[in-house]
Structures are given as structure tokens and as C-alpha cells.
């Protein structure tokens, strides 16, 4: 039996995420008084607006694709189908989830709604996490964009895709060792139960109305007339019309589900874009660049940038390319792996799917894996 909790008031995950960021922002504002003054000048406001709109316009099309695919999964793929196609062997399941993204052109903006739906359909948590982390890195669009961003270093495509897939599989395997999945299951299951209960009540009310109508029809119609039309059942409902309306009803359900899913996810994308824009405008980039050549701090800075910038995985390679020569190669690889896996907007989107405790565990795992990758690349001395 899955544990659920009431979704009243502010989400704990949102509080955990926002409070440290707000504290950091406050410290920055106090220490950089001149920057606070500039905040109200047109140039800074213009930068904020440009960054904010670019993130929104970049993310929304892919999110719409993601929630639409989620709606198709909800409508056409049953729990039995999910259970049948998932490998029984854990290692095989994680491996397949880690490489299937190479034929699945979905970026990090769209993958979370899809994974949320698959988890609700019964996909094991560790496979869902592996799939969610690997697809934004190894999908064909991302690999092609990485190739064009690093034309002089085509091996970057293999490095990013290979390291990304292995990292996702590693994290998925660790997640499979968690004691219980209840720690990670969505709070929205409470909402789902309420929604289903509401549907049951509605159905019962409708059934009651139909029963009253049925009794009424029996009191006014003879038995011979009641069974005369083969297109009507004993309750008087026109099933021929219902068959004709099936396709229309399915389309309406898909669109309604897409709309509801977009509403749930969209608000967190907007919040994430806002926070990312503020951070990019306020944080002094020149100070971060001064520590770019340190083998350890450069990785930390680039991971932080990947989290704060919230750039779509299909375009982040071009941003990473601008840091070549200013930051260590290990830090750039860490940026290209960490960013597609988790950033501000995706963290807020995950708060609709997972509990705060699991989100913290997942972010910590991603950070440790990506930081280790950066250290290893710097130690080996891989050239980009």
C-alpha cells in the first residue's frame, strides 16, 4: 500500500528549494549594493526580461510535446502493458532504460511529465529515474547539437552520450537499492485517489439518475415496445450513438488531460525560469570566471551554473562551448551531464511528482556522480 500525504498549502519540496535560494539572493543583494541599484536600470531589467522569455519560449514547446505524449500514454497504454514490456531482470531493465533515449527525441523539459505518467502506470521507480536522466542527454537531437557545438572535437559526442548513459544507469541502480519506494512516490496520488473517488461518486449519481429514468420508462412503456429497438438497451440509452462518439470522446479526453497536465507543470517552469533569470542577472560572472582554472572549484561553479541557467539540453552544448579555455575540461563535461539531469525548473517540476526527501536524495546522487566525473576527466587530462 502506497503512502500518501495531503497536498494542502505549500509543497515542502518547494520550501526546501526556495528558502536556500532566497537566502543566497539576500546575501548577494546585501553584499553587492551597487548591483542592487543597477537592478532598477533599464539595462538590467532588459537582461532579465530577455533571459526569462528565452527560457520560457525555449521550454514551452517541448513541455507541450511531453504532456501530450503523457496523455497518449494515459489513454492507450495500460498498467498490464507496462508490466509486460518491462524486463524482469533489474540490471537488464536499467540498461535498456539507459540507452532507449537514443531513439527517443525528448529533452529534459518534456521528459518529466512522461515519466510521471509511466510511474503512475506501474513502471518501477529505478527504471523511471534511469529513463528520466538518460533521455535528455543521449537523444539524437542533443547529440547532433553537441556535434555542431564542438565541430573540432567530434569525440565530445561519444563522451557526452557514453558518460551520460553510464551515469544515469549508475544512479538508477543506486535508486533501486533504496529501502522503500514509498519515500519517493508522488504526493499527487492523494489527488489521484480523490479524483477517482469523485468520478465514482459522479458515476453513482449518474447511475442513480439512469435507474430512476429506467423505472419511469417501465411505468409508461409496454414491455413489447421497450424491447422493440435493437439499438437501445433496457435503460433506453442509444449505444449506436455512443459508438459513433467514441473517437471524439477519446480526443476530448486526451486534450483535457494535456491541458490539466500543462497547468500542473507550467507553473513550475515559470517559477524556475524566474529564479534562473534573477540569478543570471544578479550573480557577477566575472568573479566566477576567476576560479575557472582550479580543478575542483571550476567543477563546482559549472555544476552550479548548469543548475541555475536551466538551459534546454538541446541547446546547452553551445553555451558550454563558450566556456572552453576559461574553465577546466572536467567542469565542462560535468556541466553537460548535470544540466540535462536536473536544474531549477526541473526540480520544481519534480516536486509535483516526488516527495521532498526523494528529491534531495536524487539531487545529491546526481551531484556526486557528476562531480566525480569532472574530477576524473581533469585528472586524466582529456582534451576537448
Biggest distance spanned by C-alpha atoms of the chain: 92
pLDDT of residue 35: 53
* Distance separating alpha carbons of residues 287 and 266, to the nearest angstrom: 33
> To the nearest 10°, the Cα dihedral for 51, 54, 59, 64?
140
Which tops the pLDDT comparison, 238 or 18?
A: 18
CB neighbour list of residue 53: distance below 8 Å, 6 or more residues apart: none
Q: Quote the distance between the C-alpha of residue 127 and its chain's center.
A: 15
State the number of CA atoms in the 13 A half-sphere of 323 facing the CB.
30
Range among 4-8, 79-83, 368-372 rated most confident: 368-372
Quick check: helix, strand or coil at residue 311?
coil
pLDDT of residue 48: 82
pLDDT of residue 289: 65
Which range among 87-101, 140-154, 224-238 shows the weakest confidence by mean pLDDT? 224-238
Which range among 223-237, 286-300, 333-347 shows the weakest confidence by mean pLDDT? 223-237
The β-bridge partners of 232 are 238
Which range among 77-91, 202-216, 300-314, 337-351 shows the weakest confidence by mean pLDDT? 202-216
Question: Is residue 98 predicted with pLDDT exceeding 80?
Answer: yes
pLDDT of residue 38: 53
The string of pLDDT tens digits covering residues 297-353 is 999 989 998 998 887 787 788 888 878 887 899 999 999 999 999 998 889 888 888
% residues pLDDT > 70 (the chain)? 68
141-166 average pLDDT score: 90
- Which element (helix H / strand E) includes 382? none
CB neighbour list of residue 331: distance below 8 Å, 6 or more residues apart: 292, 298, 299, 301, 302, 303, 323, 374, 378
Question: Is residue 34 predicted with pLDDT exceeding 70?
Answer: no
* Distance separating alpha carbons of residues 234 and 225, to the nearest angstrom: 11
pLDDT of residue 124: 92
- pLDDT category of residue 372 using cuts at 50, 70 and 90: very high
* Distance separating alpha carbons of residues 300 and 374, to the nearest angstrom: 9
Which tops the pLDDT comparison, 71 or 123?
A: 123
74-97 average pLDDT score: 83
Which tops the pLDDT comparison, 283 or 230?
A: 283
pLDDT of residue 1: 36
- pLDDT category of residue 179 using cuts at 50, 70 and 90: low
Which tops the pLDDT comparison, 188 or 330?
A: 330
The phi and psi torsions of 238 (rounded to 5 degrees) equal: -85, 95
CB neighbour list of residue 208: distance below 8 Å, 6 or more residues apart: none
* Distance separating alpha carbons of residues 224 and 69, to the nearest angstrom: 49
- Residue 335's nearest CA partner among 366, 290, 365 is 366
257-266 average pLDDT score: 76
The β-bridge partners of 238 are 232
Which tops the pLDDT comparison, 366 or 271?
A: 366
pTM exceeding the 0.85 threshold for the entire prediction: no
106-113 average pLDDT score: 81
225-254 average pLDDT score: 55
Contact of 333 with 374, CB cutoff 8 Å: yes
Contact of 311 with 339, CB cutoff 8 Å: yes
Amino acid at each position: 500500500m502506497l503512502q500518501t500525504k495531503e497536498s494542502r498549502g505549500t509543497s515542502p519540496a518547494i520550501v526546501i528549494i526556495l528558502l536556500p535560494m532566497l537566502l543566497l539572493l539576500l546575501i548577494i543583494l546585501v553584499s553587492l549594493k551597487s548591483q542592487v541599484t543597477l537592478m532598477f536600470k533599464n539595462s538590467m531589467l532588459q537582461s532579465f526580461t530577455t533571459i526569462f522569455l528565452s527560457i520560457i519560449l525555449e521550454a514551452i514547446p517541448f513541455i507541450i510535446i511531453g504532456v501530450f505524449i503523457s496523455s497518449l500514454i494515459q489513454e492507450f497504454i495500460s498498467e498490464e502493458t507496462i508490466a509486460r514490456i518491462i524486463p524482469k531482470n533489474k540490471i537488464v531493465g536499467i540498461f535498456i532504460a539507459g540507452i532507449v533515449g537514443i531513439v527517443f527525441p525528448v529533452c529534459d523539459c518534456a521528459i518529466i511529465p512522461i515519466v510521471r505518467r509511466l510511474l503512475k502506470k506501474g513502471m518501477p521507480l529505478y527504471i523511471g529515474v534511469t529513463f528520466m536522466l538518460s533521455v535528455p542527454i543521449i537523444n539524437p537531437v542533443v547529440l547532433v547539437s553537441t556535434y555542431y557545438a564542438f565541430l573540432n572535437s567530434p569525440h565530445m559526442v561519444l563522451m557526452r552520450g557514453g558518460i551520460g548513459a553510464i551515469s544515469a544507469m549508475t544512479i538508477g541502480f543506486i535508486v533501486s537499492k533504496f529501502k522503500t519506494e514509498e519515500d519517493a512516490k508522488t504526493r499527487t496520488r492523494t489527488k489521484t485517489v480523490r479524483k477517482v473517488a469523485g468520478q465514482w461518486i459522479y458515476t453513482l449519481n449518474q447511475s442513480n439518475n439512469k435507474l430512476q429514468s429506467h423505472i419511469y420508462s417501465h411505468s409508461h412503456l409496454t414491455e413489447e415496445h421497450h424491447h422493440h429497438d435493437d439499438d437501445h438497451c433496457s435503460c433506453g440509452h442509444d449505444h449506436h450513438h455512443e459508438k459513433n462518439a467514441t473517437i471524439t470522446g477519446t480526443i476530448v479526453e486526451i486534450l483535457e488531460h494535456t491541458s490539466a497536465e500543462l497547468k500542473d507543470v507550467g507553473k513550475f517552469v515559470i517559477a524556475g525560469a524566474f529564479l534562473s533569470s534573477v540569478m543570471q542577472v544578479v550573480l557577477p560572472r566575472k568573479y566566477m570566471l576567476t576560479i575557472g582554472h582550479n580543478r575542483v572549484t571550476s567543477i563546482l561553479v559549472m555544476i552550479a551554473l548548469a543548475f541555475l541557467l536551466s538551459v534546454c539540453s538541446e541547446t546547452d552544448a553551445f553555451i558550454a562551448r563558450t566556456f572552453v579555455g576559461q574553465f577546466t575540461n572536467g567542469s565542462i563535461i560535468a556541466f553537460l551531464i548535470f544540466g540535462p539531469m536536473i536544474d531549477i525548473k526541473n526540480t520544481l517540476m519534480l516536486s509535483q511528482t516526488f516527495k521532498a526527501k526523494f528529491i534531495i536524495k536524487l539531487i545529491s546522487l546526481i551531484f556526486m556522480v557528476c562531480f566525480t566525473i569532472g574530477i576524473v576527466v581533469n585528472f586524466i587530462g582529456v582534451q576537448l
